[in-house]
Amino acid sequence: MMRRPYRPAPATLTAQHPLLRLETWAVFVTIVGMIVNEWLGPGFLALALLLWGLYGAQHASSVARALGSVGMIPWLLPLLAFVSLLWSPVPLATARAAIQFGLTIALAVLTARSVPPQRFVAGAWIVTGLLIVLSIAFNKPYRDAMTGIVSMGGVFGNKNTLAFCCLIFTLTSATIALDKARTLQFRLAGLLGILFGLVMCVLARSIGTIVVTFIGLGVLAITVLLGLLPRRLRSGTAQMVFVLGLLASVPLVMGVMAFQEELLALVNKDSTLTGRTLLWYHAARMWVDHPILGTGYHGFWVQGMPAAEFLWKELHIAARQGFHFHSLYYETLINLGLVGVALGLLVICQATLAALRWARRSPDASNGLCLGVILLSLVMQVQTIGLFSQFDPSSYIFFTCAAYAIGWCRQETAVRQRLRLPSRRLITGHHVRPA
């Protein structure tokens, strides 16, 4: 008598459908909260923390494992930021900002461990797309205080925040369009989203965002094309593309330096980049006052600090608050000294190397997006400071992409050690295949 084969009971709807899972909604609300925090305040972030708290109450051990899955390196910088309250002129403000920075990283890691990259991409695409549509309907013009130029500010009233929204929408649109696992209708919507996002980047009049958008699209396209090659050719091709990219960047940089005045005139910028170079000039001389550990996290731009008061007066900042050096590297050097810069570079190197390894060994649209976001973040931070700031969308997205990449690399290493694989064998998802 033949025995009927065992068939497992069908999964419940809650287990099958991602929209009915608590962590899916926690991730979605987190994305919304990070992006609209500047516009609507911390209400959505508070709701996101509540949802994650409920999730943690149900899955405490899973949350603990998730937070430890990226190792110690990402946590070193917020730890130093918190400890800097000991020498900060505003210890309470420093402690609060450091805890919020740590929470930002925690939310990013939980996002990467709770949903697959494809679901995170879809969530970011929907949120940024809706905000762009709202920005068209309820635009608040943004006027540059130094140049007088008026540009589109969207619902945020800030062209830089709107431009960042357009950047993320364009890159997630391209990821969806290039993802073979998506439906044809979804991919076509992604293709239209690329064009729409690029037009909105131009309307926001942010030349830096336009440049890094094309960098991100280029990295994404190269990664997807790499996935079409036989596995034995991927490593060598990736190295060749990297070398050619470095060689091509040399004449590009030389050309920019040779025609910088003309290029700046095209985008209505002066030679000081609307005061940025003046800030960098002073930062390069002020950091030596506290070279090792800095003034403390968020401890420089404080009323009563002589150096800060001088710069506010020099740049005609009447409010005497809410300012920064328009450079992540100078801001970190001033606030946390050489130790902070070293830890920051360690975080960046870990994220970059993990993303490169992931994209080289298992290239697809999702890890191409992660690599592109990490690389373009490094370029953007030359003129902004969001990467190491609390509840900043650029910080959240960077650390989410980093957590995806680090998690994949640690999983690959663990599986290889468990199966005692030689280094020439690779992992694709949960399956081990020869190169």
What's the token pair of residue 47? 């709701």
pLDDT of residue 332: 94
CB 301 within 8 A of CB 324: yes
First to last CA, the chain: 45
> Beta 431-434 vs 425-428: how paired, if at all?
antiparallel
Rounded to an integer, what distance in angstroms lies between the CA atom of residue 100 and that of residue 82?
Answer: 10
Q: Which of 33, 11, 14, 10 is nearest to 23 (CA)?
A: 14
Tell me how long the chain is: 435
> Beta 150-151 vs 142-143: how paired, if at all?
antiparallel
For residue 157, what pLDDT band results from cuts at 50, 70 and 90?
A: confident
pLDDT of residue 7: 42
Tens digits of residue pLDDT in 85-135: 999 999 999 999 999 999 999 999 999 999 999 999 999 999 999 999 999
| 3-state DSSP percent of the chain in helix, strand and coil, to 5 | 70, 5, 25
Tens digits of residue pLDDT in 322-381: 788 888 999 999 999 999 999 999 999 999 999 999 988 889 999 999 999 999 888 888
Looking at residues 20-26, what average pLDDT do you find? 91
pLDDT of residue 272: 53
CB 85 within 8 A of CB 286: no
Instruction: Supply angle C-alpha 13, 19, 25, rounded to 5.
Output: 135
Q: Indicate if the pLDDT at residue 13 is higher than 80.
A: no
What's the token pair of residue 349? 């190197």
What's the token pair of residue 296? 């403390």
Looking at residues 58-62, what average pLDDT do you find? 91
pLDDT of residue 147: 57
Q: Which residues contact 16 (CB under 8 A, 6 or more apart)?
A: none
pLDDT of residue 435: 35
Q: How many CA atoms lie within 13 A of 257 on its CB side?
A: 6
Q: Indicate if the pLDDT at residue 156 is higher than 70.
A: yes
Lowest mean pLDDT among 279-283, 285-289, 397-401, 416-420: 416-420
pLDDT of residue 205: 76
Q: Indicate if the pLDDT at residue 419 is higher than 80.
A: no
Q: Indicate if the pLDDT at residue 148 is higher than 70.
A: no
Tens digits of residue pLDDT in 195-204: 999 999 888 8
For residue 65, what pLDDT band results from cuts at 50, 70 and 90?
A: very high
